[in-house]
Amino acid sequence: MTRAPTTKRYHHGELRSALIAAALVMLERDGPAAITLRGLARVLGVSPMAPYHHFDDRAALLAAVAAAGFDRLTQRKIESQAQESDAPKSSLIAGTASYVAFVIENPNLFRLMLSNEFADQHRYPDLRRAAAAPAGLLISRIGDLLAGTGQTALSPRDCAQMLWGFAHGIGTLALDGQIAPADADRIARAGARSIIEGWL
């Protein structure tokens, strides 16, 4: 059941990152409720109270895990944008589908990311920053697309929220089994196309 305690020692903040890494594994395997400060300490072979030297409380650890999830998403978006030199429109459609795929591949992580009862504005600035990064990439991409068109009713930011929100929702419905995973990609692309064409 519980893994044999490691004999490894942790120094200089290594324990902090080890806690986050172990929590990510636990999260995807057993759900958010399985993330436990004592349980993590057990798995890593340190005393039950050791995690408290790196996180104020359980909520702070969860916030860090969620931030790691947003970082992962940002990384993925950066990579895919680099290798695409498509037209902006089809690039945005592909990005929507890619976001939905991320959600389906990381269900529990995604749920933690968006269940941020933890991110109550003031308390976790790192999480806020990490969560805003993907939106920033999207906004600049959309700015490119809209530059040159006469569009003024909607700002790039409005458009980004519209498209991001759509991807968010399709992913969530797919997680809940309301949309079959096989249909999610098709619906995501068709919807993204309609939304984008509505801007122009």
Q: Which residues bind a copy of itself (CB under 8 A)?
A: 31-33, 108, 111, 114-117, 119, 121, 131-132, 135, 153-154, 158, 161-162, 164-173, 176-179, 183, 186-187, 190-191, 193-195, 197-199
Binding to DNA (CB under 7 A) within 64-93 occurs at none
Residues 199 and 151: beta-carbon distance below 8 Å: yes
Per the listing, tokens 């941020």 go with 116
For residue 161, the partner it binds in a copy of itself, DNA, none, with Cβ less than 5 to 8 A by kind, is a copy of itself
CA-based nearest residue to 192, from 172, 165, 152? 165
**What count of other Cβ atoms lies within 10 Å of the Cβ of residue 177?**
8
Q: Based on the shown chain and the rule CB under 7 A, indicate whether residue 101 belongs to the binding site for DNA.
A: no
For the CB of residue 109, give the shortest distance to DNA in the complex, in Å: 18
Q: 56 or 105, CB closer to DNA? A: 56
Q: Which stretch binds DNA (CB under 7 A): 56-64, 69-77, 107-115, 140-148?
A: 56-64
First to last CA, the chain: 57
CA distance 41 to 43: 6
Q: What six digits make up the tokens of 35?
A: 């993330």
> Residue 20 or 135: which CB sits closer to a copy of itself?
135
Residue 135 contact partner, candidates a copy of itself, DNA, none, CB within 5 to 8 A by sort of partner: a copy of itself
46: contact with DNA by CB under 7 A: yes
| DSSP per-residue codes, 15-26 | HHHHHHHHHHHH
